Chain A
Amino acid sequence: MELDKYQKIFIQESSKYLDELDTALIRVEKDLQDQQLWGDIHGKIHSVKGMARALSMTDLATFCHAMESWCKSFQDGTKIPNERIVQLLFDGTDLLKAFVAGKGEISEPEDLERLRSISEDLAKDPEDLVDRAAPEIRPSTAPGKIDRIRVDYALIESLLARSQEIMLLEKTLPPLTQDQISAGLGNWINHYISMLKGLYFQLAQLRLMPVQDFGELFVKTLRDLSKSYNRDVTLEIVGGGLEVDIGLMDRLREPFMHLLRNAVAHGIEPPDEREKSGKAREGKIVLEADRHGDQLVLTVSDDGRGLDREAISEYLKDKMGMSHEEMSALSNEKLLSIICRPDFSSAQKTTQLAGRGIGMNVIAQAIEYLGGNMKIQSEPSKGTRFIISLPLSLSIIYAVLFRLGDYILAIPTSHVRAIENDDSKSSEKVEQFCDLRSLLRMDAEGSGNGHIIRLRQSATSHMPLSENEGLGISADAIIGNMPLMAMPLGELLAKTGLFAGVGIMENGDISPILDLEKIQAAVA
């Protein structure tokens, strides 16, 4: 029983070190002489070895020792590393992961074969290992199921404190007379419920994962794909701070994997070809996350050669019997969406990695299943963009809450430029003023001493707003800037055409979230 407990700790700890090892190896591959990085790699392998020894996993410890010795010699500068050596260390790390998952045992025959082969290589002098130029093609798979997320220590502390406070509430129940019982107990229960709602709000945050962490899961996969195709590719993540429900991100693993594979296999050109056409040798894939209303918008773009329009035309002609005129009549969007048909493939030959003609169809189906949609944009020799819109099942946003008449409304803080007292001076400065009372069909009377909330211009707005003068909306009172758990609009609220979602506050209160784009469209 005790051993089981330690094995669990070993698996958790080693998995963390081995994931970090992958990242460090990717970095050292770009600068083979970085002795500090080699020291870092050495330290991680040494930690796994120490834990394996403590649990008498002798084979695993011996294997780690061989890897560690090499890294030590690169750290000291006594031996010179090359790309072949780094690849061997990547292979060793993969094997260690299989070892760790099997609690020190290797059960797959192919893993046993790899163990023999890698152990033989590790027994040699590293400098005897010749740098091999030809890339080895190996199938790459999506990262494993997302079943763990990083959690802020402050959030755990806050959760513990709140739970403790709820437990202590029992002691705060005052002694009540028969007359007081109804009102007194009612107040106490309301307080208790408010505390529980706060606890739920914070627990819900545990389900959130930054898009940055999601993107980083694919760094090693992208590195392997690049090697296999002899490409030089980096992954850039924009808007990685946006936090999204882990369930949604987990379902996006396979589609994202297919998109990466297609970008490397069909989009990004080999470094020499890129250089000849005036591009940087290193290709770039960008994962960009943004929020539009109640939609999560993930854009995956590459700066490669763009979609193969000839292959699309050939498909339309051969498989769908379309004439040249009919093809010309198709919109660009419709034309590009052909690549999502189940039997479409632009690859000239099928490989282990791509060209089977099912990838884009799988992606389109998965996104449709999640209630989203995908748009494709592509320009020859400039690259391709896949814009995926998905309903945000759950996310935390910061919003400014304000009161207008009987209503409590919210507007995402990212859309707010400034808040000013509503005096004649500030009203004059607002070029575009949205009479929210009239837009919401409310009585004209306001409180008189309200505020003006100045909004930023939405990215998709066509209103010609200058940088200094934004759209202003009126508020009777500002409640504050606070985190809201954003939930998608129901069918009825969506019919109003002005809301982006519904926000749940920490105390369980709720507020509709205004959609800036829709307000701007209504004003325009």
Chain B
Amino acid sequence: MDIFIFEAAGHYIGIEAKYIYRIADNVSIVPVPLMPSCYEGLIYYRGDLFDVIDMARFMEKEASTLRDDPYVILLKWNAEKVGLIPDRIVGIKWVEDNGRTGAVFNKRGDTVKLMTPDEIWRKLAGLAHGT
């Protein structure tokens, strides 16, 4: 299957390409109080509001020092919408679906952690809000 791969906090993360709505750059992210530390804020893009998540903090709870791309990966699925800030975008690769974890995606033998938008959303919803 086609997987969109990006890097965050030293991990390669892959999301099935069909969930990628747009890659936005130079968008202004509005901070919102009382949200978890990985929650960067909101963006309004083409009539929709997206919650924007810093994937490095989401994965490791620490801000990334590697970030060099100003991109936000916008995902839209079912009724949900979320934007992910990666450290670096790798691109779309065809990866064998072999159990969803540890799929090798390049000649160096690097592996990618496959995630679904639902998994990300469930984990986000489970974080403490309002504290």
Contact = CB atoms under 8 A, between A and B. Distances in A.
A393 B43 CA distance: 18
Given A492-B39, A493-B51, A512 B129 contact: no
Contacts of A6: none
B131 interface: yes
A509 interface: yes
A510 B129 contact: no
A136 B80 CA distance: 52
Interface in B39-97: 39, 42-44, 47, 49, 51, 80-81
B131 A491 contact: no
B31 A407 contact: yes
A266 B50 CA distance: 47
B interface residue count range (under 10 / 10 to 19 / 20 to 34 / 35 or more): 20 to 34
A200 B45 CA distance: 12
A407 B49 contact: no
A200 B35 contact: no
A113 to B, nearest CB: 50
Interface residues of A, number: 23
Given A502-B42, A508-B44, A509-B28, A492 B51 contact: yes
Contacts of B43: 510
A407 B44 contact: no
B1 interface: no
A442 B35 CA distance: 12
A498 B33 CA distance: 10
A497 interface: yes
B125 A509 contact: no
Nearest to A498: B34
A9 B34 CA distance: 55
Interface string A500-524: 0010100011111000000000000
Contact of B33 (A440, A492, A495): A440
Contacts of B33: 407, 440-442, 496, 512
B124 interface: yes
Contacts of B81: 490
A406 interface: yes
B34, B81, B125: residue with the most chain A Cβ atoms closer than 10 Å: B34
Contacts of B51: 490, 492-493
Nearest to A186: B26
A511 B33 CA distance: 11
A502 B131 contact: no
B35 A496 contact: yes
B23 interface: no
A70 to B, nearest CB: 53
A495 B44 contact: no
A407 B30 CA distance: 8
A106 interface: no
A286 B37 CA distance: 48
A408 interface: yes
Interface in A13-57: none
Contacts of A491: 80, 125
B130 interface: yes
Given A441-B33, A495-B125, A512-B32, 15 more contacts: A441-B34, A490-B81, A492-B39, A492-B51, A492-B125, A493-B32, A493-B35, A493-B51, A496-B32, A496-B33, A502-B49, A509-B28, A510-B30, A510-B44, A511-B30
18 contacts: A200-B47, A406-B31, A407-B32, A407-B33, A408-B30, A441-B33, A441-B131, A490-B49, A490-B51, A491-B80, A493-B51, A502-B42, A509-B30, A510-B30, A510-B43, A510-B49, A511-B30, A512-B32
Interface of A: 200, 406-408, 440-442, 487, 490-493, 495-498, 502, 504, 508-512
Interface of B: 28, 30-35, 39, 42-44, 47, 49, 51, 80-81, 124-125, 129-131
